[in-house]
Structure 1
């Protein structure tokens, strides 16, 4: 976001019961063992609608919806909507809508257009961008500084913020290192990620997933972590940490085929 991409988490729940007589020794806590890595199959690109519970600095802030829709031919669209309903986000009336239209070219998702709309109390921003592969440039217009409205030379494999999530899900394999060129809202950045060597048990609400953790390695004090699970077309959790503290967290509540 300066229009930074919004980031997300999953709600964990803990149920404890107490009982027995005072003189009885309390049972030892169960040993938690990470699940071994199973044969990994990247989730296919398919239409879906996913609902997330959104947290900001550990407090519930609202909800988010991620949607993937099939278009004509090889064209697809991915949307993300974030709605602040509680706490500081509620006071600001924060709403963020992002969308990317892209082509599915098999081993690469190619962005065609991108839009970001941010609405809040006393604040509103709208930015649209076009990835023109015929001229080999991308350019944004709207509520941006002039230097970020200049054309950016494109390279094959360039990703928007939303498209990067889908590409990570397609490309991640246990122990694999991934590199992408991030081109979005008038900026260019190199993003490097690594997938964990093994899957781990991730609790999301009442559900438990055997999920692969994928994390950015060159973000400095800004950490980006996501967990993906076999058979689930959307990340089960997306977490951003800043200066070692959880900041924005999305936790999957439910998903359905679109």
Structure 2
């Protein structure tokens, strides 16, 4: 596994201290680069494997792995697997999620989704299919009766895992992000507010200049994600409720 590398950014500004003759000044003006900063490049989707430390209410629970895998025919798959350790192992909890997707007009378009949850001796498995020809999505398996009906699809709809990737792609200082979550037999809008400035976030013994992205229409259940330029996976994913820290995934390394 490749250890994380700290991200730093420095700007160098040089100024002429002496005036040039008119002819030379005109030539210098033509040769000088523009002072307007170019737009930041859009992050490129690429395969990675990332490892996280998982805690809940400050108690260590275990580890998680998030990865993006390139498949055939321009398809991709994003996975998130949580494995028990500490209290999570005692509870016997094990969670695996996957979404197969492609990229259409720059959008991450889900094609199939699956979730497996194991608690003690029980196992819950759900499978979802996104039919873009019929523009409906439907889930089977251990799904609530109220979530078995087809869900109408709209352009831009994503699973929960894809929204995490979209935040990495879209987050810029002060931006407002609008997505539509279609997962597990339900659909709902999700809006996120990106912080106006970066903040230092500690990952192990390294510090990153990261943007905090908060879901703004979640009610008492808050979701926050921290992302940094050049890092293909979130630095941290935090769920909280009523101001209390809940499930917390902190990046420890990726490759």
- Structure 2 length as normaliser, TM-score? 0.83
Asked if residue 92 in structure 1 is aligned to residue 91 in structure 2, the reply is: yes
- Higher RCO, Cα 8 Å, sep 6+: 1
Equivalent residue, structure 1, for 2:233: 234
- Over residues 3-52 of structure 1, what are the superposed CA-to-partner deviations in whole Å (9 max), with x where a residue is unaligned? xxxxxxxxxxxxxxxxxxxxxxxxxxxxxxxx999985553210000000
Gaps of 5+ in 2: 1-8, 12-36
Gaps of 5+ in 1: 1-34
Alignment map for 1:168-247 (pairs within 5 Å):
168-247=167-246
Equivalent residue, structure 2, for 1:58: 58
- Over residues 159-218 of structure 1, what are the superposed CA-to-partner deviations in whole Å (9 max), with x where a residue is unaligned? 101111001111111110011110000011110001111111111111111111111000
SS at match of 1:168: helix
State the Cα RMSD in Å. 1.8
Asked if residue 112 in structure 1 is aligned to residue 111 in structure 2, the reply is: yes
Give the length in aligned residue pairs: 221
Per the alignment, do residues 43 and 205 of structure 1 end up closer, same or farther by CA in structure 2, a change over 3 Å counting?
A: same
User: 1:107, CA displacement in angstroms?
Assistant: 2.0
Distance in 2, matches of 1:36 and 1:124, equals: 51
Distance in 2, matches of 1:189 and 1:84, equals: 30
Distance in 2, matches of 1:126 and 1:36, equals: 48
SS at match of 1:170: helix
User: 1:137, CA displacement in angstroms?
Assistant: 0.4
Distance in 1, matches of 2:40 and 2:223, equals: 22
Preserved contact between residue 198 and residue 212 of structure 1 (Cα < 8 Å): yes
SS at match of 1:165: helix
User: 1:123, CA displacement in angstroms?
Assistant: 2.4
Q: Which piece of structure 1 moves more, 72-81 or 152-161?
A: 72-81
SS at match of 2:168: helix
Which consecutive segments of 4 or more residues in structure 1 shift more than 4 A? 35-42
Equivalent residue, structure 2, for 1:136: 135
Distance in 1, matches of 2:197 and 2:219, equals: 24
SS at match of 2:146: helix
Preserved contact between residue 42 and residue 172 of structure 1 (Cα < 8 Å): no
Distance in 1, matches of 2:191 and 2:180, equals: 9
- Structure number with bigger Rg: 2
SS at match of 1:99: strand
User: 1:74, CA displacement in angstroms?
Assistant: 2.2
Equivalent residue, structure 2, for 1:77: 77
Distance in 1, matches of 2:105 and 2:60, equals: 37
- Over residues 27-85 of structure 1, what are the superposed CA-to-partner deviations in whole Å (9 max), with x where a residue is unaligned? xxxxxxxx999985553210000000000111110000001001123210000000121
Per the alignment, do residues 140 and 36 of structure 1 end up closer, same or farther by CA in structure 2, a change over 3 Å counting?
A: farther
User: 1:93, CA displacement in angstroms?
Assistant: 1.1
